[in-house]
Structure 1
C-alpha cells in the first residue's frame, strides 16, 4: 500500500469515527438534558497532506439562544482554522529543502494549498520563533563580549517587485569554546530597502546595549567590536567604549590583491619573485605574518621598498597602477591602525564576520532566483540553533 493510500485510508477511518460520535451525541439523552436544540449542520473543510477533507458539524442552540458545538473527541478542528498542523509542518520542511512554492503545491492533491496560504504559514512560523529567547547567565571565566559586524546585499521581492535590500548583520557572542565554536550567540539583522533610511549609529548603540543587558547576565571586562573598517562600525565601537579590531579577512583580501600570487595575480609573481628568491618566503606570506602581529608600519615600508626595487630592476615595467594600489592600501591601514595593532592583544581570538554573513544569510538564499522578504526571513530563522538568539531589527 502506498503512503498516499495509507493516508487516505487513515483519514477516512477518522472521519467515520467523527461522524459516528456526532450522531451519538445528537441522539443522546445527555444532549436533551443539557437543553440543546439542533440548529443546523455545517461542513468544515480541513486541508491535510492527503487533500481537503470535509467534516459535518452539528450546531446546537442552548436556552440562551447561543450557538454551540459538540466537543468531538475524535478530531479537534480549531476555530477559524482550516489547515492541519501536520500539513503546515510538511510545507515548512519542503521550503527548508529549497522547494519552490509551485513544486510544494504540486506535491499535494489538487486544490489542497495555495501560494497565499504558504506565504501566511511561513510568516506565522518565524513570528512565533521570534518570541523565544535564551538568556546567558552564570557564565564563568568569561571576560569579554564580542560584537562582529558586516553588511551584505540581496535582491528581495516586495509587492511583486525586486528591490535591493541592505542586510546589516551584528553577531554578539562571548568567544570560543575548546572546539573553537562560537559561544552564547545573539544575531541581530537589519533588513532595509536601500531606498529607505537605515538605523542610525545612536539607535544601533542603544539596541546593542539593550540586548547585552537583557541577555548576558554576567560581569564582563571588555567589549570588543570587529568589523571591516567601515565608519559606522568604528563609531559604534567608540560609543560603546569598546576595543576595535579590523576584520582580518578583509585586510588579507586587500593585501592579497596588492602583493599576493594567484590565478588572477600573475603580474605580482612577475614583479616580486625576486623577494621570494632572496628571503625564501613570498612577500605576501611575510607581510601577512607581520601584519597579524600588529606591525603595520613595517609591512608598509617593505611593500613600498619592494615596489621601488622592482621599478629599478625593470625599467620597462609600468608600476603606476601598483603604486596606486599601494597608496590605497596604505590609507586603509592608516585609518585602521589601532584595529590592526589589537591583533597582538590577548583578547584577539580571530574574526568571523565573513563566515557569519555566508552561513547565516548567503547560504540560505543562494538557490533562489526570486525570494520574498518573508521567505527570506523564514529561511534565516530555520538555520537558528536552539541555544542562539535571532532578531530582525
Structure 2
C-alpha cells in the first residue's frame, strides 16, 4: 500500500514539474501550480466565510486560471523564464494590490503573500538585467505605497466584521504561505544539493587532471613520486618493489629531423604501450619529464627485466613511420629504509650506464649491462 501511494505521489509530482526539468524549473513549475491552487482555495474560503466581496473572489478565480495557463506554457512549451517574468508582474502590480484593497489591507494576510512572492522572485528571476531589478524594487516599494495609501484613506479598506473571521483568514493564509515556503525552500535545497554534487564531480575531475600528464595521460612527475612515497611502508616491511626508468633514444634528433608533432606522436605511442604493459603487470607508470618515463613494479629484478623485454617487443611490433621506438632503461630494487631520492638516484645512475654503453639497452645499479645490438636502428 505504501509503495502504491509513493508511486502515485511520484507520478503526480512528475506530471507537475516534469522528468527532465532543472531544479530551478521544477521550483518554478511547482510554485505556479500551487499558486493557482492557493488562489482557488482563497476564493472558496473567502466566499464560504463572506470575508471579501464577490468581485474579489471572481478576481482570484481569474488569477488562478491565468496562472494555470502560465504553468501549462512553462511545463509543456518551455517558456519557464517568460512565465516567471509575467507572473511576477501580475502578482506584484495587480493581484496583491487588489487583495490588499479587498482583503482588509494591513489587518489582512497580504503582507505575508508579498513576502512569499518576493522569495519566489529572488529564486527564479535572472541574476542580472533590468527585469530582476524592477521586480525586486517593486516588492520593496509596493507594500510601502499600499501602507501609505491605507493610512491616508482608511475608509477605502473594509474592516473585518468580526475577530473570528480575521483569525480564520490569517490562520489559513499562514498555512498557505507555509506550504508555498516549503515549495520554494525545497526547490532551493534541491538546487544546492545538485550544485554541490556538480562541484564535487568537477573537483574530482580537476584532481584527476592535476595528477595526469596532459600529453600522455600517465601520472605526472609529482603524482608518480607521491605513489613512490606511499609504498615506503610496504617496502619497510620487506615487500619487493622495482623502479624502472626509460628514456627515449635520440629523441632530440627525432624532433629536429621530423618535427615536434612527430615527436609528440612518438611520446604518446610509447606512453600507450608503457601503460598497457604496466597495467598487465600490475604496475604504475608515469611521465617524469620530456622523453623520460618511469614504472613502479611490485616484483623482483628478473620479473622487471622481463617487463623491459616485453615493452621492447611491443615497441618493435608497433613500428612508426620513421622506425621503431628505441629506449634506454635503468633499473633498481627498493631497499628497506632507503629514501625516495636515494632510490631514484640509483635508478638514474643505471640509466646513465645504459646510455653510456650505446643506448637501446637495460642496466641495473648492481649488475652488468644487457646489450640489444640486434634491434633495428631508427631511420
Asked if TM exceeds 0.5, the reply is no
| TM-score between the two structures when normalised by the length of structure 2 | 0.23
Higher RCO structure, 1 or 2 (CA under 8 Å, sep 6+): 1
| TM-score between the two structures when normalised by the length of structure 1 | 0.22
Larger radius of gyration: 2
The structure carrying a bigger helix percent of its residues is: 2
The structure carrying a bigger strand percent of its residues is: 1
